Each structure stands twice: as C-alpha cells, then as structure tokens.
Amino acid sequence: MNITQEKIDGGNALLKVKLEPQDYSKQYDDALKNYRRQLNLPGFRAGKVPMGMVKNRFGKSLLAEEINKVLNNSIQTYIKENEINVLGSPIPSDEHEESGDWDNPGEFEFVYELGLAPALNVAVGSKDKLNFHTIKVDDKMLSDHLFDVTARQGELNDEEESADGFILAGEVVELDESGEIKPGGIFSGLNFRISDLDADTTKTLNGLKVDDKVKIDPRKAVKDEGRLAEMLDIPVQSVAELHENFQFTVKEVKSIEPAELNKELFYKVYPGEEVTDEKEFKARLKADIANNFLRESDQLFKRDITRYMIDKFNPELPDSFLKKWIRMTNEKPVTAEEIERDYDDYKRGLQWQLIFNELVGNKEIEVTREEVTDKAKSMLAAQFAQYGIPTPSDEELESSAMRILAKEDQARGIYDSLYDEKLIAYIKENASVKEKEVSFDEFVEMANN
C-alpha cells in the first residue's frame, strides 16, 4: 500500500491511496468463506454452495466492502501518524476517478479530498478590550423582591375567589395557533399578584376560582423578565419571544398579610447573620438580586467573547470542501440552497471550536476529572440543601456523583459548564475587561442582538 499527500493550498489537500492485492486479498478471502458458511440457496445444503457461485453472485459487493474497510483504517492511521489536523473527514474526489478492475481485482488507486484545519496562534492580552455587562437593580426590582420575601414569611389565607391584591398560583401551558396544547411547548408553574397586572388583564383574572382556566400572556402576569425566565426555565433573552397564547389553570387563590420588617424577619431570611435594620436588610436583598443575574451576565459575556475572538483570529476554512462534506455526510438529503442558507452559522461555530480547542491544547484552559467530580458533588449538595435535607457524607456524595458522570449527557453538561467558567476566568485574567452596569431592558436588547 502506498499513501501520498498532495497539498493544494493551506486548507485543501489530496490523499492518493494505491492498493496492491496483498493489501486486501486475505480480508476478501475470509469474507467469502464467512459468507459461504452463512449462505442458504435452494438446492444446496447450508454452507455447501460452491465457492465459484458465491464469487460470481456476491464477490464484487464483498470485495468493495472489504476494500472500503482497508481504506478507512489505513487513511485514519495515516492521518494520525502524520498528525494531519483535518476538518470533517476525507471524501472521494469528484475530479479523480478511481482506477482498478473490479471483475479482475489487482491494483487499485483512490483519491480523497482533505479539508485542513488552519494553524492558529491564539493569545489574549491587555490590548484585548471587552465589556462585562451587569444588570442594575432598580427600585422596582427591589420593591417586588421585598414583597416576595415578606409574602413568603407572612400569612397566606385561602380564598374562594380572586380579587385585586390576591395571589394566583397555578400551571401555565403554551398553546398552538389553533388553541390546542403545543407539543413540546412550555409547561410550568406560575404565581403572581393580580395587582401587578395591567387593568385589562386584571379584569380577566378577577373572580376566578380553583380549577378555572383562562388565557394569559405570561409577560403581563410577571413583568420582571428575569423572574419570569426563572419560573418558565428559559433563558432571559427568550422572554421577549413569548407570545400571549398560554392557558393558565388556577390551583390556589390566596390573600396575603405580609410579614413586618423587623429583626425576626431579618433572622428568618438570613439566619446566623447580623442583619439589624431595614436599610441593611434591603442592601442584602439588592445584592442577592444582582447575584442572581450574574449567570445571565456570564452567558452574554461568553457570547461576546466568542464573537470577538472569531472576528480577531478569523480562522480560514476550506469552504468549498466543507459544503461538499456537509452534503455528502448529512443523514437526510440537503440541497445546495439549504447549505448556503445555513453555512455562515455553521462556519462561525466551527471557527469558534478551533479557537477554543487551541486554548485547551495550549493548556490555557484545563478541566480535570477531579474538578468535574467536585462540581457534581457540589450540585448534589445544593439540591439537598434546597429541599432542607441534611447533606450526606462525602463518600455518599462521591458515589452519587459517579452515577451522574456515568451518563454521557450529564457528564458532558458538567464539563461544558466548567469549561465556560474557566474560559470566562481566563479572559477576565488576561484581557482588559471593563464592568458596565446597564438597565434590565438594555441588557435584554443586547442579548437579543
């Protein structure tokens, strides 16, 4: 066997593979024998069909199958041993016909196209200027959160029928255009104060009883988009895309007598901490709100990092090869128009992956198995704490973490989360990052651009 590489340009190469009979004849003979043993044809006992008949009827397809296996294994070995950084996988060249006689097997020659990954030198320094956007906690946010806290610690009374100032709790489900429950749509719990809504919506929600159903716009029911996103378990930038076609089913109607702002309340909310007056209590609540928004800030920052570094390093890709590779390897038939339509997004995703892989390969960003295990354990401990359950022993946490990490999708999620954390920390440490406080509306507008 002889494999040679012929570079066309920085992103494309040809791989020429010459096969001699000794490269595939044993595999072919073994395939014929195995097939003969399993073959059943009328007039012959199982496994006793003459070899000449097996060759005549099935030999060519078996030969093609075995040669294809030899080619795949040999090419992958060649790429690995020669440390060729390829994109996608080798594909047969349209411009070079294979040579060889399938009726009288002897020497064969095949030509493959290779897409080559560009050489990158990714470095981040003080000249790289980025903004880290945080959400300003305004008086309305603080007032709403204060009401929620005093309501949770106050006295709730069941009521027969809803009215202004009451709280409704229930289930909200997304509907399709015909008013039916949307398959795979949003389904979640929702609770809100009727007095927080606009006048028209308030009229719709007054006079409701348990199990009543009503159409509702979640954005009107919960105007705090961060809180609504948390309730519906969706990204905050997706709140703006919600439509008004949701069905709300009433499960509870409550009137509320909020708890008083005194030391007893301060201790209940922050047990074991010295919060002595209303001013300090509100400052702590404000800090909690800001901290809850940090995840959204990190997500926006990662997106900004991605865009910035793609534009800065702009890895050159073999576009024609990749479009052809997408078409040939896609599970479902895809048209040239569809490839062109989606290619820019695919290209930028691949460019980012190459940049990120370079950071990982240079050990700028590392995630160890020990860190992944610790992260899984801390997540479990937080879940126990959330439900007021005592944290198990470290040995029990370790065992539970191992069960989580044995599931590929869950393990990948934890790895990805840690890589994101490490990336953000790396950029903050090495680049010039300026923290900018913006309003919630400004933040959402940036997130949607």
What is the structure's pLDDT at 42?
Answer: 80
Is the pLDDT at 234 greater than 70, yes or no?
Answer: yes
Return d(Cα 52, Cα 59) in angstroms, integer: 9
What is the structure's pLDDT at 387?
Answer: 61
Q: What secondary structure does DSSP assign to 12-31, as a single string? A: EEEEEEEE-HHHHHHHHHHH
User: Once rounded to an integer, what is the mean pLDDT over residues 204-230?
Assistant: 83
Is the pLDDT at 222 greater than 80, yes or no?
Answer: no
Return d(Cα 302, Cα 365) in angstroms, integer: 14
Q: Of 310 and 37, which is predicted with more confidence?
A: 310
Q: Are 8 and 80 in contact (CB under 8 A)?
A: no
Return mean pLDDT, the chain: 90
pLDDT digits (tens, 9 = 90+) for 68-94: 999 999 999 999 999 999 999 999 998
Of all residues in the chain, what percent carry a pLDDT higher than 90?
55
**Confidence bin at 386 (pLDDT 50/70/90):** low
Return d(Cα 398, Cα 103) in angstroms, integer: 61
Helices 408-430 + 294-313 axis angle, to 10: 70
Give the helix/strand (H/E) hosting 140: helix 139-153
Is the pLDDT at 63 greater than 70, yes or no?
Answer: yes
Task: List, in order, residues 6 or more apart from 40 with CB less than 8 Å away.
Answer: 46
CA pseudo-torsion sign 350, 352, 354, 356:
negative
What is the structure's pLDDT at 254?
Answer: 87
pTM: 0.72
Return d(Cα 194, Cα 192) in angstroms, integer: 6
Tokens of 138: 């305004």
Pure H helices in 187-277: 199-205, 218-221, 225-232, 263-269
What is the structure's pLDDT at 338?
Answer: 94
Is the pLDDT at 434 greater than 90, yes or no?
Answer: yes
Parallel/antiparallel/unpaired status of strands 187-193 and 86-92 = unpaired
Q: Where are the domains of the chain?
A: 2-116, 155-257, 293-447
* Distance linking the first and last C-alpha atoms of the chain: 54
Give the helix/strand (H/E) hosting 49: none
Q: What is the CATH number of domain 155-257?
A: 3.10.50
Was domain 2-116 assigned CATH 3.30.70.1050?
yes
pLDDT digits (tens, 9 = 90+) for 153-211: 888 889 999 988 788 889 989 888 888 888 888 888 888 777 777 777 788 888 999 99
Q: Count of CB atoms within 10 A of residue 402's CB?
A: 12
What is the structure's pLDDT at 227?
Answer: 72
Give the helix/strand (H/E) hosting 319: helix 319-329
Of all residues in the chain, what percent carry a pLDDT higher than 70?
99
Q: Are 11 and 115 in contact (CB under 8 A)?
A: yes
Return d(Cα 374, Cα 14) in angstroms, integer: 46
**Confidence bin at 388 (pLDDT 50/70/90):** low
pLDDT digits (tens, 9 = 90+) for 329-358: 988 889 999 999 999 999 999 999 999 999
User: Once rounded to an integer, what is the mean pLDDT over residues 353-364?
Assistant: 91
Q: Are 225 and 144 in contact (CB under 8 A)?
A: no
Q: Is 8 helix (H, G, I), strand (E, B) or coil?
A: strand
Lowest mean pLDDT among 70-84, 227-241, 314-328, 354-368: 227-241
